[in-house]
Structure 1
Amino acid sequence: MTQFNRRQFLTGAAAGLGTAALASVPNVAMAKDLSSVLKPEQNPEINGILGKPHIPAKAKRVIYLFQSGGPSQLETFDYKPTLNKMHGQELPAEVRGGQVLTGMSAQQSSLPLAGSIYGFDQHGDSGAWVSELMPHTAKIVDDLCFVKSMHTDQINHDPAITFLQTGFPIAGRPSIGAWLNYALGTDNNTLPGFIVMVSTNAGGQPLYSRLWGNGFLPSIHQGVQFRGGKDPVLYLNNPPGLDLKDRSQLMQHLKKLNEEAYAQWHDQEIQSRIAQYEMAERMQSSIPDVTDFSDEPEWVFEMYGPDSRKPGTYAANCLLARRLAERNVKFTQLYHQGWDQHDNLPGGIKNQCKNTDQASAALVTDLKQRGLLDDTLVVWGGEFGRTNYSQGKLTETNYGRDHHPGCFTMWMAGGGVKAGFSHGETDEFGYNITKDPVHVHDFQATLLHLMGIDHEKLTYKYQGRRFRLTDVHGKIIKPILA
């Protein structure tokens, strides 16, 4: 048995308590000058474990607009006139097949088909069908790549979101952004390489910070959440009575203590904390700059919509995402809740589209006119789709839709995907995929591919096994590549 004297015990206890305390500090990605923290060869994770991409990258950064709750594809992008013709009729048994239902739908005595009350029209040179609820997105369809044949293994929110974000339905795996941070590091010297924003006052299903967590990867790779208001990052400002000079001296002493702890214990988390503290110090000047919209002209706010002036709204977060792209933040993720319409879907989804349509389209347009869209991959979509039958009472103007993992629609833009293109098809009932199915792992593999990463080669050994984002699955969606 290992023996510890009093000095060794206290030193170890102090290191442990220090690590625990540091967990409350925002986890960030890189220092201004890596040599001031650790040389890449000493800790390659800080600068990206790969050093350089496996293959030439089509995208340098990703902006992921996650629509939490599961937007109905039948009210947005997957036009199904047959549902309108058969409104109120029972879902044919041969269409449903043996697909599992949620506990909510399973209690219903019938599954009446529900046609969308909203009209669809074709737009752009590509002729893409878009709902009247998305007039701004309709104007940019020739910049978009629709994937209408997405499907997932999960039928409930928490496991479905976790699966899409981490490649596994149970919590504990690294998120997509964490994997990218681990693989490629960052191109920015004063901002985190992985930033997350959640729309304020959106409601809906709860979200958890583990969705942008590092899992078993070093904590330096987890996402940093930006919040609306005067303090976008928690614990970043100096406490009352402590000025910048005092804080700098404190940081220098803390760095020495951490270096001594690392020399004794060789724990890579201590290295991560050193880098995180130094980044936090730099963020004290970079965060106010990037979140200050006073230099944005009036026409930009008009393009994103009136909510873009209100910190924390989806529109303001989209505008901030563009500002982060200009500063080469590698992975920016926006979460917008409230798409879970089990009842009163016509009213609920109308509000959701009103709150998001203009800003989503503006982001793509803004990136394009600034020359950033070609190497920025923008992703829009939720965790699953909605059923073609009504959950609960069905009328001519009101209905709800349950969760449907069998098919849903996502779109991507820029970053190496085809513009004005649609991939995959569903049947005339909008219930089953009839052409080019795309699994969640296929989407993840393709996203990594566009960033220059071979998803089969990006692994991390943990508890005796090598893990990867796509587990043992995933195929690149080659038809959508530009």
Structure 2
Amino acid sequence: MNLPDTTRREFLHRASGGFGSVALAGLWNDLQGAPLNPLVARQGHHLAKADRVIFLYSTGGVSHVDTFNHRPRLTVDHAKSVTASRWLNKTGQYKRYLIKPRWAFQQYGESGTWVSDLFPQLGSVIDDICVFNAMHCESDGHDKATLAAHTGSAQFARPSAGSWVSYGLGTQNQNLPSFMVLAPAAPYAGAQTWGSDFLPACHQGTQVVPGKNPLPNIRPRVARPELQKMELDLLARLNRTHRKARAADQALDARIRSFETAFGMQREAPEAFDLSGETEATLKLYGLERGATSGFGWQCLVARRLAERGVRFLELIDVGSNSNWDSHGNMADHARLARAIDRPIAGLLTDLKQRGMLERTLVVWTTEFGRTPFNTNANHAGREHHNFCFSSWMAGGGIRGGHVHGTSDEHGILTDQDAVHTHDFNATMLHLLGIDHERLTYRHAGRDFRLTDVHGEVIHDVIA
């Protein structure tokens, strides 16, 4: 349908008696396409292997040498000293002492990929996973490294990866946000990790806090739908009047769009978060008891349900800025934290595969950095921050399962072959979604910005 002589305001005014201005705003946007509806579904730059992302983020810095990067020499050389000057950027002979892993490693699957005893359930699905064992980034500070992992910038707040994906591809369901964050608390660097910054505000992540009432403000205050429609119609008219004098006000556009989304969420979101219809077998797969309303298993199962309903980008935060993987004092904390996510993540991958969704769903797991394979003395129970080498993984969505990309040196201190920077990791994620990371740009403050800044190479070796 072509409506060249009709403005958006005129369309809404003429038709406001039928469905309500909020619903009609969405209809008008669908008719007119992307310029007026920034969330309308769009094609990428090339053929996509994945339609959506479930991004799993473990806060605090997970030790690579205790999880996915098997370094036998680290055990052999336990308590031996190494000269640390070359990676600490200091002069003089700085000595550190190697510390062996606390947990044994074993090979899993037909691929024979090494995984530590911290993650036996993930080991059982390792043939669907591609492990990156030579990740690296610039910063060893939580805030900067977390920001870089999410936005591509360690120095300044910029749009998050989820916001870029929403901006580039839109949503597959106009009744739900295109980017949702299931998080009991924000990670280091706070809510800017899912912010849209200079992108239109409709692309920022919508946080859902696990609990008995994850959507506390979604239920209408009025009992009769027709009364709510009248309220929303009045609000829409006021917004349109206000908008006439503020043609460049993005915030108002985002506010109008938020009312449209909220109206749709009242119908669709409650059902998406209702797990009562899930079978006992499915709940067990995620490690959930009947009636559970929190925990990483709940986050993973709700993520699957939202992915089924067309949410484009889902981020799941594994704990917040307290009681996390930042194990300076005692690496034994890793065992408790691993137990909380091992079965849920393996269950998510299994469930997606059984439902035929894994092929088009890219599941990503990462952390801000790794942990030192050494410390100031050989008896130290913890490990420090380590940005020179760490591990991440991807699964589904066109990824080469059962593959390990990149190697470190024999102690897991520095990357050796096929190193992958955070920018490369993000470029590969976008590529699998059909997005050219060099072409997905936004003009701001006189220059074109992108998620990978001026860096990043797609890692084609990990693509099936």
Letter in 1 for 2:328: H
**Match for residue 328 of structure 2?**
342
- 1:291 pairs, out of 268, 273, 284, with 273
| 1:62 aligned counterpart, secondary structure | strand
Q: 2 CA distance for matches of 1:286 and 1:453?
A: 28
Letter in 1 for 2:330: N
Distance 1:403 1:146, change over 3 A: same
Q: 2 CA distance for matches of 1:447 and 1:180?
A: 10
Output aligned runs, 1:225-244, within 5 Å. Answer: 225-239=207-221, 243-244=224-225
Q: 2 CA distance for matches of 1:312 and 1:358?
A: 15
Query: CA offset at residue 228 of structure 1?
Result: 1.7
Letter in 2 for 1:77: F
Query: CA offset at residue 91 of structure 1?
Result: 2.1
Q: 1 CA distance for matches of 2:127 and 2:34?
A: 44
Query: CA offset at residue 259 of structure 1?
Result: 1.5
- 2:69 maps to 1:78: yes
**Match for residue 113 of structure 2?**
128
**Match for residue 5 of structure 1?**
none
8 Å contact from structure 1 (residues 32, 190) kept in 2: no
8 Å contact from structure 2 (residues 73, 410) kept in 1: yes
Gaps of 5+ in 2: 1-21
- 2:86 maps to 1:97: yes
- 1:245 pairs, out of 226, 229, 234, with 226
Q: 1 CA distance for matches of 2:447 and 2:23?
A: 31
Q: 1 CA distance for matches of 2:122 and 2:254?
A: 41
Q: Which moved more, 1:79-88 or 1:35-44?
A: 35-44
Letter in 2 for 1:274: I
- 1:63 pairs, out of 54, 71, 85, with 54
**Match for residue 137 of structure 1?**
122
| 2:55 aligned counterpart, secondary structure | strand
% identical aligned pairs: 39
- 2:308 maps to 1:317: no
Q: 2 CA distance for matches of 1:235 and 1:214?
A: 22
**TM-score normalised to structure 1 length:** 0.86
8 Å contact from structure 2 (residues 173, 309) kept in 1: yes
After superposition, the C-alpha distances for 1:30-53 in whole angstroms (9 at most, x for unaligned) are 9797324573254252326xx421
8 Å contact from structure 1 (residues 172, 216) kept in 2: no
- 2:58 maps to 1:35: no
After superposition, the C-alpha distances for 1:340-373 in whole angstroms (9 at most, x for unaligned) are 101111x200001111101111100110010000
Query: CA offset at residue 385 of structure 1?
Result: 0.7
Q: 2 CA distance for matches of 1:307 and 1:471?
A: 44
**Match for residue 393 of structure 2?**
411
**Match for residue 26 of structure 1?**
none
Query: CA offset at residue 137 of structure 1?
Result: 0.5
Q: 1 CA distance for matches of 2:378 and 2:446?
A: 53
| 2:96 aligned counterpart, secondary structure | coil
- 2:454 maps to 1:454: no
Letter in 1 for 2:86: G
**Match for residue 429 of structure 1?**
411
Query: CA offset at residue 269 of structure 1?
Result: 2.9
- 2:102 pairs, out of 114, 117, 122, with 117
- 2:352 maps to 1:367: yes
Distance 1:309 1:361, change over 3 A: farther
**TM-score normalised to structure 2 length:** 0.89
Query: CA offset at residue 444 of structure 1?
Result: 0.9
**Match for residue 254 of structure 2?**
272
- 2:375 maps to 1:390: yes
**Match for residue 172 of structure 2?**
187
**Match for residue 301 of structure 1?**
283
Distance 1:71 1:98, change over 3 A: closer
| 2:325 aligned counterpart, secondary structure | coil
Letter in 2 for 1:46: L
Letter in 2 for 1:270: L
Q: 2 CA distance for matches of 1:234 and 1:435?
A: 49
**Match for residue 216 of structure 1?**
198
After superposition, the C-alpha distances for 1:16-38 in whole angstroms (9 at most, x for unaligned) are xxxxxxxxxxxxxx979732457
Gaps of 5+ in 1: 1-29
Q: 2 CA distance for matches of 1:31 and 1:158?
A: 40
| 2:134 aligned counterpart, secondary structure | strand
Letter in 2 for 1:35: L
Query: CA offset at residue 268 of structure 1?
Result: 3.4
8 Å contact from structure 2 (residues 48, 431) kept in 1: yes
Q: 1 CA distance for matches of 2:290 and 2:300?
A: 8
8 Å contact from structure 1 (residues 307, 315) kept in 2: no
- 1:168 pairs, out of 123, 135, 153, with 153
Letter in 1 for 2:373: N
Letter in 1 for 2:238: L
- 2:235 maps to 1:254: yes
Query: CA offset at residue 231 of structure 1?
Result: 2.8
**Match for residue 177 of structure 1?**
162
Q: 1 CA distance for matches of 2:82 and 2:290?
A: 42
Query: CA offset at residue 110 of structure 1?
Result: 4.6
8 Å contact from structure 2 (residues 296, 341) kept in 1: yes
Distance 1:297 1:41, change over 3 A: closer
Q: 1 CA distance for matches of 2:128 and 2:326?
A: 27
8 Å contact from structure 2 (residues 325, 334) kept in 1: yes
| 1:35 aligned counterpart, secondary structure | helix
**Match for residue 6 of structure 1?**
none
Letter in 2 for 1:85: V
Q: 1 CA distance for matches of 2:49 and 2:270?
A: 31
Distance 1:142 1:33, change over 3 A: farther
CA RMSD, aligned part only?
Answer: 2.3
